[in-house]
């Protein structure tokens, strides 16, 4: 079975990307995977710590058990998304046992988010989890910069945020960060925002974000590794498609499918909510990201290593 590391590297080298779908409610797992299979897409299914703290995904173990019921190695891999060192409420997290749990139950890759620390602290915490992941034979994603949205309270004015570049990933810091941590993929802040996860705001439509493509190109050249876009829901389509040609090889999608599930559930039942998730996931893959049949290029175990693939 091709590793998550090699799948993302193939995407990076071919100007494609791997969509990664968050599962805040366990019944979302089956329709997401079914949609991925029906679109013949290469994708990740994932859970972030806020989704078992603030929603109903329960735990990494519960997600892994649900994933195993529907797993299709020709199309999907299981990823541990955002496990923060300092969470969105400003609290210290006992994060190492969470990574150990994920490794023990078979996650194919993990993500450490130490972006709320200073640069030296982020490097140290990230390096610790990278070494842990690599010892287990799996890839580790990290984050540098501030992709806002998960914090309580209103988001700063988006136009001012974008104009000022507040929280955007620093290019020189990114070069040092990748060199000193040996992370496999880097989540960068270039204009996207996370969907709100607290209070009434979690049901509101996200701001339509755009991306600083010039900074993205500089980050790609400085780091030389696949880059990740968090807060993928709601980004202008032309911007995200251009970003995929400039080093973004994985895009996280959460709000689009979570709100589809919650809205349909409020008006009906779990079955109708699952159908809404299925339909929305297929639309995202097919019409928004144009990734139908990407599994043929990214998942095939044809004997080629990533170094044998050219863009």
User: Annotated catalytic sites, by residue?
Assistant: 81
CA dist 51 to 23, 25, 83, 167, Å? 7, 8, 10, 24
CA distance 42 to 284: 13
Of 57, 134, 63, 49, the C-alpha closest to 93 is 49
CA distance 107 to 262: 26
CA angle 22/140/185 to nearest 5° reads: 85
Q: Give the single-character DSSP code of 182.
A: -
208 contact partners, CB below 8 Å, separation of at least 6:
234, 235, 236
Q: Give the single-character DSSP code of 285.
A: I
Contact 209, 183 (CB under 8 A): no
Contact 39, 292 (CB under 8 A): yes
CA distance 143 to 126: 9
Phi, psi of 115 (to 5 degrees): -70, -15
């Amino acid at each position: 079975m091709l590793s998550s590391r090699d799948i993302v590297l193939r995407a990076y080298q071919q100007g494609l990307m791997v969509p990664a779908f968050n599962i805040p409610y366990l019944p979302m797992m089956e329709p997401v995977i079914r949609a991925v299979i029906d679109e013949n897409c290469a994708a990740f299914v994932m859970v972030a710590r806020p989704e078992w703290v603030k929603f109903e995904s329960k735990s990494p173990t519960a997600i892994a058990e649900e994933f195993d019921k529907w797993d299709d190695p020709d199309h999907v891999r299981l990823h541990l998304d955002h496990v923060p060192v300092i969470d969105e409420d400003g609290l210290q997290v006992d994060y190492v046992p969470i990574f150990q749990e994920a490794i023990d139950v078979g996650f194919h890759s993990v993500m450490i988010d130490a972006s709320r620390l200073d640069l030296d602290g982020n490097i140290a915490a990230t390096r610790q989890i990278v070494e842990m992941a690599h010892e287990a034979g799996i890839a580790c994603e990290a984050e540098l910069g501030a992709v806002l949205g998960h914090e309580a309270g209103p988001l700063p004015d988006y136009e001012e945020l974008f104009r000022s570049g507040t929280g955007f990933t620093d290019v020189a810091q990114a070069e040092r960060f990748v060199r000193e941590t040996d992370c496999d993929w880097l989540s960068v802040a270039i204009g996207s925002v996370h969907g709100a996860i607290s209070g009434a705001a979690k049901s509101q439509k996200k701001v339509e974000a755009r991306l600083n493509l010039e900074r993205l190109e500089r980050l790609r050249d400085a780091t030389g590794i696949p880059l990740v876009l968090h807060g993928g829901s709601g980004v202008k389509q032309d911007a995200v498609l251009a970003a995929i040609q400039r080093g973004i090889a994985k895009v996280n999608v959460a709000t689009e499918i979570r709100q589809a599930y919650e809205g349909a559930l409020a008006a009906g039942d779990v079955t109708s909510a699952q159908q809404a998730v299925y339909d929305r996931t297929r639309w995202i893959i097919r019409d928004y990201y144009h990734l139908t049949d990407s599994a043929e290029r990214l998942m095939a175990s044809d004997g080629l290593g990533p170094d044998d693939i050219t863009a």
